[in-house]
Chain A
């Protein structure tokens, strides 16, 4: 089973952030349930260095670190189909019969 690593950058606990977190959890639980999904939420107000390293311009920004290639999306994560397409998820693995 392949591992999926996601990092979500938010700016404080606003309604926008809460919505993004909820949407992402839903994606992990419903769309990526057959994968080991690692989700890290980074609040740029609490951890500005992380935002600096990744040159985050706006939030919510979601980065897929694994599997490669790295992908980055920004905006409304409630459009699940678009988010998955943009992140190239679920990953296609030859011989993997799960999907």
Chain B
């Protein structure tokens, strides 16, 4: 297949030279050339758009000095084609001028011919040189485009970019750096920024803007080359807003923490796997006092579920129940879980209320576990229950005494003699009744002491004395019961429930013994009336009234 011919456009070349060129170019085997002859550059332009133009041979003579379109033709229209000038001789001053326009080489009119090997060489060199120049131009254009693109990226970058030399002087700033520093590139270029030092990837700086405002920036540094010397690219990112947000968050966290720490309830936040992620101070103090001084099992990072699984029955017997309840909240089966449990520790037995609620967080599922010490409430509730039980027993005893009184009010027999037709002692003889109450109260006190201090002792003399005293004022069993109830009521105003209970238990015995003694007293009275026993004046008085 024959290769298409490349054109040589000959401008203003005379016929003899055309013929010589024709002969010279025919010596070149490939590519093949054809010659196109035109009168001037304006005529040549129609051929310049053709793909296969090998070169232009432009004849120069002194007349062209006045033709301004020739330089423009070489520099612009034919800039993509090698142009070879045709001159009269080596000394032709037009040669230098033509090189300034951009010609590749020149041929001397009279030296063209087959016998001149330099003609072929000159043409070949011109073509090669032009090809290389074109490649170079292309590469430069590419590099310039690439640089332009890079500059666009740097200039459009939101981060401030500064290039400093090895002395720390500013060599380049992008618009973002101008904005961040509040100064124009004109003012910044050449100014001392400082040799940038970071430890790790980045560091924080306070940027002093020209208007007096201070911004916080994150600085990163990379080594580079700038104008054939070592330089550093410093990128500055405005993190003022981020820092403000972080500070606000820290303040909010500190606020929440302060509130949490002000509570006496022991609080822990755990994640869905049971890992403790936060605790308050009350929790720390309590767990330390309970033996986990190093927070190994109950501190942040420890697994609370694991701690519950390992909890001994001694310290928390309801741990399995607690664990189950926690999982029901975690699984969303119930909105909260509460459990009262007893806790044994070196500090003594305590009662706690454990309350578990879900953690209201978008970031991670978890639970808030709060333990409140309810020992005081439990004790108060127990005391209330005991007082209530005691009151019930008092009422019961009262009912019991009253039935006893009813029994003792049955018609007199020899053993249960009693004076008839008399009212209660309290109404009849208040002084005697009050004296008896005082006596009885003193006996209760003594009974309490004997029991409390476990002392050997007897109340028998006091009981006999009181029975005699009451017998002498003709007291009935009803009076004994009333005496007991009055004394107990009086004591209940000030005594603790425990004391009151002892009063009631001891009083129960005292009443029976007092009744027995009173009965003995009256029995003695009956016997003495029959002349078997000599009794005192009261008995005589009783006898005279019968």
Contacts and interface: CB of A to CB of B under 8 A. Distances in A.
**Is chain B a partner of chain A in the same complex?**
yes
Interface of A: 10-12, 14, 16-17, 44-45, 48, 51, 55-62, 71-79, 82-83, 86
B207 A58 contact: yes
B467 interface: no
Interface of B: 168, 181, 183, 188, 191-200, 203-208, 212, 214, 217, 219, 221
Contacts of B221: 75
Given A74-B168, A75-B219, A76-B203, A59 B196 contact: no
B197 A75 contact: yes
A79 B205 contact: no
A42 B408 CA distance: 105
Closest 8 CB pairs of A and B: A74-B194, A76-B203, A11-B206, A79-B199, A75-B197, A72-B194, A58-B205, A86-B195
Which of A44, A58, A61, A76: most chain B CB closer than 10 A?
A: A58
B205 A60 contact: yes
A8 to B, nearest CB: 12
Given A79-B198, A79-B199, A72 B192 contact: yes
B208 A44 contact: yes
Chain A CB within 10 A, most for which of B181, B188, B192: B192
Contacts of A10: 206
Nearest to A54: B192
B346 to A, nearest CB: 42
16 contacts: A10-B206, A11-B208, A14-B206, A16-B205, A17-B206, A55-B192, A57-B183, A57-B191, A58-B194, A58-B208, A60-B206, A72-B168, A72-B194, A73-B196, A75-B197, A75-B221
Given A16-B206, A58-B205, A58-B217, A48 B195 contact: no
Given A45-B214, A57-B183, A74-B196, 6 more contacts: A16-B205, A57-B208, A58-B217, A73-B194, A77-B197, A82-B197
Given A72-B168, A74-B193, A75-B219, A59 B198 contact: no
Contacts of A72: 168, 192-195
Contact of B193 (A17, A48, A57): A57
A83 B183 CA distance: 27
Looking at A61, A72, A73, A74, the one whose CB has the most chain B CB atoms below 10 A away is: A74
B203 A75 contact: yes
Contacts of B198: 75-76, 79
B208 A76 contact: no
A59 B208 contact: yes
A75 B219 CA distance: 8
B193 A76 contact: no
B208 A51 contact: yes
Contacts of B200: 76
Contact of A76 (B197, B207, B214, B217): B197
B197 A83 contact: yes
B326 to A, nearest CB: 39
Contacts of B195: 71-74, 86
A39 to B, nearest CB: 17
A83 B195 CA distance: 9
Contacts of B214: 11-12, 45
Contacts of A59: 205-206, 208
A58 B168 CA distance: 13
Contacts of B192: 55, 72
Contacts of A58: 181, 193-194, 205-208, 217, 219
A73 B164 CA distance: 12
A74 B169 CA distance: 12
B194 A61 contact: yes
A74 B206 contact: no
A62 B196 CA distance: 11
Contacts of B219: 58, 74-75
Nearest to A44: B208
Contacts of B204: 16
B197 A73 contact: yes
A46 B203 CA distance: 24
B400 to A, nearest CB: 79
Nearest to B221: A75
A48 B219 CA distance: 23
A75 B196 contact: yes
Contacts of A44: 208
A58 to B, nearest CB: 4
